[in-house]
Amino acid sequence: FYLSLKREEKKGKLQKQICQVVLDHFEKQYTAELGDAWSSVREVLTSPQCWQHALLLNRFSQCPGLESSLAEQGFHPAFPAALPYLPAAFRCYVRPAPVRFPAQKHQPGTLKGYYLLNAASLLPVLALEVKDGEDVLDLCAAPGGKAVAILQCACPGHFHCNEYDDLRSRWLEQTIESFIPDPLINLIMVSKLDGRQIGALQPEVYDKVLVDAPCSNDRSWLFSADPQQAVLRLTQRKELSSLQFQLLRSGIRALRPGGSLVYSTCTLSKAENTDVINLILNSCRDVMPVDISAMARGVSQEFSFLSGTQQHELLVLPEKGRAWGPMYVAKLKKVSST
């Protein structure tokens, strides 16, 4: 066992080689966009050993003694009760020291007790504020962590989880099967539609829409194993904002008047974050920004944010001891029918 563990450690180290071409690209872009903040962010992003993992507990699976065990190991609740929206069943634990809790394997017919994730990825869910009975669309749902988190918060009337990519769609289905019991699964529709078309296919159907858009994932791109693939990714990077804009516009069209939409990415890139939201606000007359600064203030002990953002957006910056993110979140509301 010890030898196999050492082999896994060695394998992990081999796989975690920094891709220089990506780092050079980020160095130029993020020095310009983030200023002095980039050096500390870069230190975390290039040091996987200091990355942290949170545990989102599954309310549908009882694990006796888990919470007391987590407390003994130095874990504490990630989100304070003072947040504008924090359902009682939503329980997430973190600890300052970077330790990875053991993952649970997928076993058909058995629900997992917790989901390991970057704690910042739960902020879009808390910003969405889903309530019981609402019709919800998760436009780009794989691998399924945010869908699982939404179902920890409320029981939607109808929950549509969409994932265009075939492989990622199967991953999504497995995640749902691992965390959600049968009666509730019947309320979930998993589709493999082009997210850009859903708004036209289902106009004004949903109360809440989450657009967790495909983006240039800074953490994984920095460790691209194939330099040629990395160069291709960087070449195609500028096309992502167009896709994100189209997905957002589709999500807005699928939203009922009065409904809310949350847009999120896991990149620091201004072109994929603030610029996309500004383009939507300038081109869509039926949406308005929603202030999420109260949520940001409420979690400021656990997360570090880029200063100078608008009240309807936030950008989580990874830093040592709070190595969450990157995660961009923006919230919009539909004010009238198109």
Specify binding-site residues. 140-146, 163, 194, 212
Q: Which two tokens stand for residue 135?
A: 């019709």
> Could you tell me which residues are annotated as the binding site for S-adenosyl-L-methionine?
140-146, 163, 194, 212
Burial class (CB in 10 A: 0-12, 13-18, 19+), 96: middle
CB neighbourhood size of 141 (10 A)? 30
- Residue 283 CA to residue 191 CA, distance in Å, equals 28
Tokens of 108: 């058909």
Bridge partners (DSSP) listed for residue 255: 206
> 104 burial class (0-12, 13-18, 19+ CB within 10 angstroms)?
middle
Tell me, yes or no, if 284 is annotated catalytic: no
Q: What are the residues whose beta carbons fall under 8 Å from the beta carbon of 24, sequence distance 6 or more? A: none
User: What residues form DSSP beta bridges with 196?
Assistant: none
Residues facing 117 on adjacent strands? 54
Token pair recorded at residue 337: 């029918």
Measure the N-to-C terminal CA separation of the chain; round to a whole number of Å: 62
- 19, 92, 153, 266: which one is catalytic? 266
Between helix 20-34 and helix 227-236 the angle, nearest 10°, is 30
What are the distances in angstroms from CA 74 to CA 77, 93, 95, 181? 10, 10, 6, 30
Q: Contact at 8 Å (CB) between 213 and 243?
A: yes
d(C-alpha 55, C-alpha 68), whole Å: 13
Indicate which residues carry an active-site annotation.
Answer: 266
